[in-house]
Amino acid sequence: MTARQTVMLLVAVVLYFPSLAHSFQPLIFNENSITHRQITERAVLRKTAEVCRDFAASAGQDFSLVIDNSLSAGKVQRACSSVGTSTLLSTAIFQTSIAQMYFANAKVDVEFILSDTHHFVDEAFQGGRDLITEGVSYVKASVKLENFAAGRWTLGQICHPLQDFYSHSNWVEMGNTVPYSTLIRPDQPFENLAGPDTPTCRNCINGNCDDNLLPELQQQGLLTTGYFSFFSRSKPAGKCSHGGSFDQTSKQDPVGGINKDDVTSDHGSLHRKAANLAVDATMELLEDIRVAVGDKNFLRLMGLSQSTVLCFVIDTTGSMSDDIAEAKRVSFEIIDSKRGTMQEPSAYILVPFNDPGFGPLMKTTNADIFKDSINKLTASGGGDIPELCLSGLQLALTAAPPSSEIFVFTDAPAKDAHLKSTITALIESTKSVVTFMLTDVLPSRRRRRDIGGAPSRSMSQSDAQLYRDLAQASGGQAIEVTKSDLSLATSVIEDSSASAVVTVFQVGRNPGKPDSFTFTVDDSLRDMTAYITGASSLTFNLTNSSGVSQSSSQSSGPLASFTTAGNLRRLRLNTDNQTGLWEISVNSNNPYSVKVIGQSSVNFIYNLVEAHVGAHGDFSLKEGRPLSGGNSSLMVSVTGSDTVKVTEVTLFDSSGPTEVNGSLQELGGGNFLVRFSNVPAGEFVVRLRGQDNSSTSRSTTSSFQRQASTQIKTSSISITAQANNTNIEPGSTISIPFTVATMTNGVVNDTATGTLTVRANNDRSYASTSPSTVTVAAGSGGKANGTVTLTVPASAASGTDVTLTIEAENAAATDINYAVLRFSVAAKVTDINRPGCQVVNTSASCPFSSSLCASFHWEFIANLTDGINGTGIERITIRKGNGTFNTSTAVGAGGENVTVATYSASCCSQDVELAAVDKVGNVGTCVGQARAVTTAALATKASAVNTTSTGGHSLSISRFLCISVVVSLLWK
* pLDDT tens, residue by residue, 719-764: 999 888 888 999 999 999 999 999 999 899 999 999 999 999 999 9
Q: Are strands 433-439 and 478-481 parallel, antiparallel or unpaired?
A: parallel
Residue 14: predicted pLDDT: 43
Encode pLDDT of 781-814 as tens digits: 999 999 999 999 999 999 999 999 999 999 999 9
Strand-pairing partners, residue 747, are 744
| Residue type (1 letter), 480 | E
Residue 7 binned pLDDT confidence (cut-offs 50, 70, 90): very low
Return the SS3 of 855.
helix
**Residues 6 or more apart in contact with residue 685 via CB below 8 angstroms:** 475, 506, 651, 652, 654, 707, 708, 709, 710, 711, 712
| Residue type (1 letter), 178 | V
**Residues 6 or more apart in contact with residue 87 via CB below 8 angstroms:** 81, 342, 499
Residue 615 binned pLDDT confidence (cut-offs 50, 70, 90): very low
Please tell me which residue, 643 or 80, carries the higher pLDDT value.
80
Encode pLDDT of 18-67 as tens digits: 444 566 778 776 668 899 999 999 999 999 999 999 988 888 888 889 99
**Residues 6 or more apart in contact with residue 949 via CB below 8 angstroms:** 955
Please tell me the least confidently modeled range out of 98-112, 633-647, 658-672, 845-859. Answer: 845-859
Torsion angle (degrees, nearest 10) of CA 47, 52, 53, 54: 90
Q: Are 826 and 137 in contact (CB under 8 A)?
A: yes
The span from the CA of 240 to the CA of 219, in Å, is 17
**Residues 6 or more apart in contact with residue 907 via CB below 8 angstroms:** 844, 846, 847, 852, 853, 854, 856, 857, 858, 930, 961, 963
> Which of these, 161, 106, 104, lies nearest to 131 by C-alpha position?
161
**Residues 6 or more apart in contact with residue 20 via CB below 8 angstroms:** 13, 113, 114, 230, 246, 614, 615
Give the per-residue SS3 of 511-537. Answer: CCCCEEEEEEECCCCEEEEEEEECCCC
Provide the residue count of the chain.
Answer: 972
Question: What H or E segment, with its residue span, contains residue 778?
Answer: none
Torsion angle (degrees, nearest 10) of CA 329, 333, 335, 337: 170
pLDDT surpasses 80 at 524:
yes
Average pLDDT of the chain is 87
> Most confidently modeled of 14-28, 287-301, 679-693?
287-301
pTM of the model: 0.89
The span from the CA of 685 to the CA of 707, in Å, is 7
Q: Are 318 and 379 in contact (CB under 8 A)?
A: yes
Residue 950: predicted pLDDT: 31
DSSP 931-944: EPPPHHHHHHHHHH
> What are the angstrom distances between the C-alpha of 73 and each of 431, 599, 620?
21, 19, 22
**Residues 6 or more apart in contact with residue 337 via CB below 8 angstroms:** none
Angle between helices 295-302 and 125-144 (to 10 degrees): 100
Q: Are 578 and 698 in contact (CB under 8 A)?
A: no
pLDDT surpasses 70 at 17:
no
Q: How far is CA 967 from the centre of its chain?
A: 38
Q: Are 103 and 623 in contact (CB under 8 A)?
A: no
Q: Where does 63-170 have alpha helices with state H?
A: 73-80, 92-111, 116-119, 125-144, 148-168
318 CB-contact burial (10 Å; exposed 0-12 / middle 13-18 / buried 19+): middle
Question: What H or E segment, with its residue span, contains residue 824?
Answer: strand 816-825
Return the SS3 of 397.
helix
pLDDT surpasses 50 at 947:
no
> Most confidently modeled of 5-19, 78-92, 919-933, 951-965?
919-933
Q: Give 84's Cβ-side CA count (13 Å radius).
A: 2
Helix, strand, coil percentages for the chain (3-state, nearest 5): 25, 35, 40
Q: Average pLDDT in the 488-501 region?
A: 91
Other C-beta atoms lying within 10 Å of the C-beta of residue 576: 9
DSSP 269-337: GGHHHHHHHHHHHHHHHHHHHHHHH-HHHHHHHHT--SS--EEEEEE-SGGGHHHHHHHHHHHHHHHHH
Name the DSSP class of 616: S
> Where on the phi/psi map is residue 453: left (φ > 0), alpha (ψ -120 to 50), or beta?
left
> Which of these, 35, 23, 24, 20, lies nearest to 667 by C-alpha position?
35
> Which of these, 587, 583, 585, 435, lies nearest to 512 by C-alpha position?
587
Kindly report the CA angle at 853 between 847 and 858, in degrees rounded to 5? 80
Encode pLDDT of 465-476 as tens digits: 999 999 999 999
The span from the CA of 107 to the CA of 120, in Å, is 16
Residue 938: predicted pLDDT: 36
> What are the angstrom distances between the C-alpha of 595 and each of 299, 467, 576, 691?
33, 17, 19, 22
Q: Are 876 and 864 in contact (CB under 8 A)?
A: yes
Residue 528: predicted pLDDT: 96
Q: Are 25 and 32 in contact (CB under 8 A)?
A: no
Name the DSSP class of 596: E
CB-based burial, 446-482: b 16+ in 10 Å, e otherwise:
eebeeeeeeebbbbbeebbbbbbebbbbbbbbbbbbe
Return the SS3 of 804.
strand
Please tell me which residue, 371 or 909, carries the higher pLDDT value.
371
pLDDT surpasses 70 at 310:
yes
> What are the angstrom distances between the C-alpha of 458 and each of 386, 669, 863?
10, 52, 66
Residue 362 binned pLDDT confidence (cut-offs 50, 70, 90): very high
The span from the CA of 724 to the CA of 619, in Å, is 21
Q: Where does 32-91 have alpha helices with state H?
A: 36-58, 73-80
Residue 929 binned pLDDT confidence (cut-offs 50, 70, 90): confident
> Which of these, 61, 46, 25, 95, lies nearest to 639 by C-alpha position?
95
The span from the CA of 275 to the CA of 272, in Å, is 5
Q: Give 621's Cβ-side CA count (13 Å radius).
A: 23
Residue 382: predicted pLDDT: 62
Residue 518: predicted pLDDT: 95
pLDDT surpasses 60 at 343:
yes
pLDDT surpasses 70 at 437:
yes
The span from the CA of 530 to the CA of 595, in Å, is 6
The span from the CA of 911 to the CA of 919, in Å, is 27
Q: Average pLDDT in the 186-206 region?
A: 95
Strand-pairing partners, residue 748, are 743
Contacts by residues 749-753 (CB-CB < 8 Å, ≥ 24 positions apart):
749/782, 750/781, 750/782, 751/782, 752/776, 752/782, 753/777, 753/778, 753/780
> What are the angstrom distances between the C-alpha of 193 and each of 162, 221, 938?
17, 9, 47
What are the phi and psi torsion angles at 829 (to 5°)?
-75, 115
DSSP 689-716: EEEE----SS-SSEEEEEE-SS-EE-BS
